[in-house]
Amino acid sequence: MKRKMEDKDMEIVWQSPANPPERKDYIFRNGRRHVRPYYFEFIAHVKNRWAGKTIVDLFTDEFKGRNRDYYISAVKCGRIQVDGQLVPVSFIVKPSQKISHFLHRHEPPVMTWDVKILQTEPDVVTICKPASVPVHPCGQYRKNTVVGILQAEHGLAPLFPIHRLDRLVSGLLILARSAAQADIFRQQIEGGMVHKQYIARVIGEFPEEEQVVDANINHNAREGRSSAEVGDSCGDAPTKGKTACTKFTRISTNGIQSIVLCEPVTGRTHQIRVHLQHAGHPIANDILYLSKDVIDRSAGGMGADRAAANSDHSPASGFSENKSTEHEDSSEDFSIDPMCTNCPSLAPKGYDYHEEALWLHCFRYSGPGWVYECPHPDWASLS
């Protein structure tokens, strides 16, 4: 199916279903993997609190990443539609109506490190995930993900990640090649039959004896960070967050930093990072959990995660992704869209390049009758 947007400046042709990621979708510049900008449609249904607003006021009030003049133009040329129809800028939206926003999508870049395949089996693929690459589509990332890159460069699809690693964490990632195999792994994980091992480089001289941190994890999705909380049996106030437990064992130390074996018993967001901070030995390059001073100093920039979270079409906004197609290649790396608020830059507006791989690495998962491993990174040696 093809549709043409009514744009005086250019004619855009797009089609459905969405094209899968391909090798040609990527541009490599200055040590970073970029995605050629592509046209994409975001869809949402009108929430009750949106009802009664004009279509322009709705977008201006709710999605502040673009200015009012942009939204007026987008409505007039048909890039914003209601129930698949062009509407005037004065159109009043009603509950449950379908709103679509067709735009030129720019994904944040990731580092150019390869997604290295460790093992390929009939039902399982294991890879060594590089830091900076998210596992699966989320926020502003779709093609710049482990799943997208494996499909584009190795033709591996569909894939079902059976666990996740934070975007800045590296190491072993297990992907099932069928939903049935993924269910087997998930049942083993939920049944407590899977043992997970990570390695971290932390601040200070970590104690020689095993340390067990048993502290609830309270995740704040809006801030993109978690905190640890220990319950008070004598207190009246209930503890917040989810129960979490991690075992830590020192591998080596030079008195200034230590290499620590991390064995999470549960799997909460940022669990190892928060529990190491709680133990007084945060990961040595983890600006999010090193100290309040570091967090305050870094708040001015916007890394890829913050850019994704602040996207005007983030999952929290109620918008979902629908259809996309690549624009035809030109003599340049990509074609400029005159209405796009990110062009001519490859990265989305607000992206901060000052990021580095977190010194946290998953190196082994084991379960009933199976073990998968990943080599240690270079930073895991203090010599």
Which amino acid type is present at position 76?
Answer: K
Neighbours of 369 (CB within 10 A): 5
Collect contacts of 313-319 with beta carbons under 8 A, ≥24 apart. Answer: 313/42, 313/63, 313/101, 314/139, 315/138, 315/139, 316/221, 317/44, 317/62, 317/63, 318/44, 318/45, 318/47, 319/42, 319/43, 319/44, 319/101
**Tens of pLDDT, residues 349-382:** 877 666 679 999 999 999 999 999 999 999 999 8
Residues above pLDDT 70, as percent of the chain: 81
**pLDDT confidence of residue 222:** 82
Give the separation between CA 145 and CA 135, rounded to whole angstroms.
Answer: 5
Mean pLDDT of the chain: 85
**Tens of pLDDT, residues 190-224:** 999 999 999 999 999 999 999 999 999 999 888 88
Q: Is residue 18 part of a domain?
A: yes
Listed residue (143, 146, 151) closest to 26, CA to CA:
143
286: its two tokens = 């983890």
Q: What is the CATH number of the domain that holds 70?
A: 3.10.290.10
Provide the number of structural domains found in the chain. Answer: 1
Q: Is residue 97 part of a domain?
A: yes
Q: Is residue 253 part of a domain?
A: no
Which comes out higher in pLDDT, residue 302 or 79?
A: 79
Neighbours of 156 (CB within 10 A): 18
Q: Is residue 102 part of a domain?
A: yes
Query: Under a CB-based contact definition with an 8 Å cutoff, are residues 79 and 339 in contact?
Result: yes
Q: DSSP letters along 44-68, please? A: EE--TTTTTSBHHHHHHHH-TTS-H
**Which residue out of 57, 166, 214, 312 is catalytically annotated?**
166
**pLDDT confidence of residue 20:** 85
Give the separation between CA 273 and CA 119, rounded to whole angstroms.
Answer: 28
**Tens of pLDDT, residues 218-246:** 998 888 889 998 765 455 556 678 999 99
Q: Is residue 360 part of a domain?
A: no
- Position 296 confidence tier, pLDDT thresholds 50, 70, 90: very low
- Position 140 confidence tier, pLDDT thresholds 50, 70, 90: confident
335: its two tokens = 């074609």
**Tens of pLDDT, residues 319-355:** 666 655 444 433 357 889 999 989 999 999 877 666 6
Q: Is residue 60 part of a domain?
A: yes
**pLDDT confidence of residue 126:** 98
Domain span at residue 102 reads 2-109+305-325
Does residue 76 carry a pLDDT above 80? yes
Q: Is residue 123 part of a domain?
A: no
Angle between helices 55-62 and 68-77 (to 10 degrees): 140
CA 266 to chain centre: 21
Establish whether 9 is a catalytic residue. no
- The whole-number average pLDDT for the span 290-309 is 47
Q: Is residue 193 part of a domain?
A: no
**pLDDT confidence of residue 181:** 97
